Structure 1
């Protein structure tokens, strides 16, 4: 097995710990030879972990990608609105690309990325990691084997978790669509992708409703302060208290082990307190600059007449996805670590237990393993989560957001795509 080489653009949580860490676990398969990361502390930590010399460490992606290629692969894990330019240059420089989702907050840029991958003959895989997770892989196999006949309808719930939405989508970097992406894209493009993959049919029509119902200044309790730690009169009884999240671990102990890294490079209590005073993660959830929805529903119709409903809600205790797939011969229900298959003819019930693994239940490692195999044997084929497949589900998300902004008006996907493609053609003239 030939060792492949890669450069990492963006050494944040996903890039550093989810994808590039594969090179540490399987050094005979992958070696990271350069990194571009503006945060000096993260850049230094990543370079030390992977043995990258100082001359191969960059503050920005431009000097790394503008030179002659130094590796086989570019892992691009920057923030949502920082994907397009490095992806396009990496493809032009003939890197194969593994791109963190979403592709881009711009529909036109998504189409341009897809076309650039084809024009340059490079393998571009988008990190829709759920396609590689054991739970969803087994569900897909059952469907493909005809276990439930033809799919008639799917119901998919994404329970974000009250502590996760407060951390990432109220206080964190995905809290404002003007600087990141709308919620349906930033958090739920995974779900649009799963529905498209399981249905295996073009989505033809979308409508959507949702709003920022709770996390805004109109709901700020009397006596609350801009920062939880600054003498807030209701902090002790607020379920979204930042000190409770990050110091006591009362909400989820996971915070103290992982999420505190988002605002402090040193997980000491003094550094956490400092972060709660100085960073957005210490702000009151009712007095942040967030504008993304905290709940949303999407209705979808597919080419063969099948339908799907999707619900995203931030007001749940645990983050989890729950799915029910209803077919002409049976149904499938799945959540967490279990799948239940029911047969209408025999009433037989099959239960499949899925062992829990770290990293999206093993999907982060699985997508890397698959991707490296596909790069080694690349002859123009598309991957399981290719740019082309991702554009389809991204368009579903973009259309859903357009519908929501138009008070639930139905959006025809073909017309929606054609309008964007036409705009792209006019820009290119």
Structure 2
């Protein structure tokens, strides 16, 4: 019998990514929680979910008791902890979208709730599950670099992606959304934790909002792109959305629930000028983390890149590994032999195949064939680093982690 999965939150990540992948891997989506009526009806029709298994709030779903085998929680950032605690109280295994919370003290609440539950929480840190970063981890584990000393990692957000998600989208302001680093790069901080193989000790950070603000608006800019006379604006919503495949992200975010793309650009937030000042997230941030054992990692997250990818260098006593995720390229320099090895890794699929890899690993756990993909306590180190980095950035100091 196939596993019964409840989706709590039917947005892009919940329904269009996890819901579709879970169904494709043999699980059944049997219950839905979504406050938007049109979206709820759309996703229910897709999965054949009966009206009695559709809910506008998770309280009503959990009031039914244990009616599914596991739950996916992909609600907005500020609504992850509540349903997760209720799910654990009923013994559900949970696939929890990141960031798991917006307040640091809630990390302990989640750990305590999991410890008291028969269920386990898997955080959606999908990059660990990509073939590309698994290949990086394989080089580390194989000893080719000797002792790891440093990590240089960059998340190149791409100017149009930043405009979509962090100026016009759900993550444009904190609160209510998570701080930029937590919302965008907990994946990457989780990778640093995995590569270092140790807990973080100290964090420092610099960054700010340099460009996407009212004083940077070009002369004559209108409030909406569809009527704006400015030519050549890199954030023109017409360029970002009208020239892209209408059946994939990010266009599907605008058309969810059956809305026409033209109406979304004329009336919704994704057609607004990026210089209106509705956002407060940094558009460029640099972070340094020192791990137990001495590994030092630098992470740079920036809107000002042409592509949407990750690049990295791992620096060891016996070698250096360079990687470019978008192209799937890896380059290993062996200091002992002077040999240079180049190879490529398949990066097809959402997040370079990481979403599929995570879903497969989670289903294997639910079916009793594997342990949880990553223990919750280890996953939450990424959030501890993010919270510390935000304090360090705002307060201008080095933050020591307990």
**What TM-score range do you get, normalising by the shorter chain?**
over 0.9
Counterpart contact for 1:131–1:385, Cα < 8 Å:
no
Matches within 5 A, 1:74-113: 74-113=71-110
Counterpart contact for 1:246–1:256, Cα < 8 Å:
no
Counterpart contact for 1:260–1:267, Cα < 8 Å:
no
C-alpha distance in 1 between matches for 2:284 and 2:246: 23
1:404 equivalent in alignment to 2:396: no
What 5-or-longer segments of structure 2 have no aligned partner?
none
Per the normalisation by structure 1, the TM-score is 0.90
What is the aligned partner in structure 2 of residue 142 from structure 1? Answer: 139
What is the aligned partner in structure 2 of residue 15 from structure 1? Answer: 14
What is the aligned partner in structure 1 of residue 47 from structure 2? Answer: 50
2:193 pairs, out of 181, 193, 196, with 196
Counterpart contact for 1:229–1:282, Cα < 8 Å:
yes
2:115 pairs, out of 114, 118, 127, with 118
Once the two structures are TM-superposed, the CA of residue 233 in structure 1 deviates from its matched residue by 3.0
C-alpha distance in 1 between matches for 2:258 and 2:329: 34
C-alpha distance in 2 between matches for 1:266 and 1:83: 22
Counterpart contact for 1:299–1:310, Cα < 8 Å:
yes
How many corresponding residue pairs?
400
Per the normalisation by structure 2, the TM-score is 0.96
SS in 1 for 2:256: coil
SS in 1 for 2:310: strand
Q: Judging changes above 3 Å, is the alpha-carbon distance between structure 1 residues 83 and 225 closer, same or farther for their aligned structure 2 residues?
A: same
What is the aligned partner in structure 2 of residue 298 from structure 1? Answer: 287
2:235 pairs, out of 234, 237, 240, with 240
Counterpart contact for 1:6–1:73, Cα < 8 Å:
yes
What is the aligned partner in structure 1 of residue 159 from structure 2? Answer: 162
Matches within 5 A, 1:161-240: 161-230=158-227, 232-234=228-230, 236-240=231-235
Once the two structures are TM-superposed, the CA of residue 386 in structure 1 deviates from its matched residue by 2.6
Once the two structures are TM-superposed, the CA of residue 170 in structure 1 deviates from its matched residue by 0.4
C-alpha distance in 2 between matches for 1:25 and 1:169: 31
Compare 38-47 and 388-397 and name the one that shifted more: 38-47
Counterpart contact for 1:245–1:255, Cα < 8 Å:
no
What is the aligned partner in structure 2 of residue 413 from structure 1? Answer: 401
Once the two structures are TM-superposed, the CA of residue 155 in structure 1 deviates from its matched residue by 0.2
1:338 equivalent in alignment to 2:329: yes
Once the two structures are TM-superposed, the CA of residue 382 in structure 1 deviates from its matched residue by 6.1
Once the two structures are TM-superposed, the CA of residue 254 in structure 1 deviates from its matched residue by 4.9
C-alpha distance in 2 between matches for 1:238 and 1:255: 22
Once the two structures are TM-superposed, the CA of residue 125 in structure 1 deviates from its matched residue by 0.3
What 5-or-longer segments of structure 1 have no aligned partner?
415-429
SS in 2 for 1:173: coil
SS in 2 for 1:323: strand
CA RMSD of aligned residues (A): 1.6
Deviations 1:199-244 (A, max 9, x none): 00111111000000100011112211211223x231x221111122
What is the aligned partner in structure 2 of residue 421 from structure 1? Answer: none
C-alpha distance in 2 between matches for 1:163 and 1:254: 15
Counterpart contact for 1:331–1:342, Cα < 8 Å:
yes
1:354 equivalent in alignment to 2:345: yes
C-alpha distance in 2 between matches for 1:217 and 1:7: 42
Counterpart contact for 1:332–1:340, Cα < 8 Å:
yes
Deviations 1:238-269 (A, max 9, x none): 1111122222x2xxx2577432222223778x
What is the aligned partner in structure 1 of residue 67 from structure 2? Answer: 70
1:391 equivalent in alignment to 2:364: no
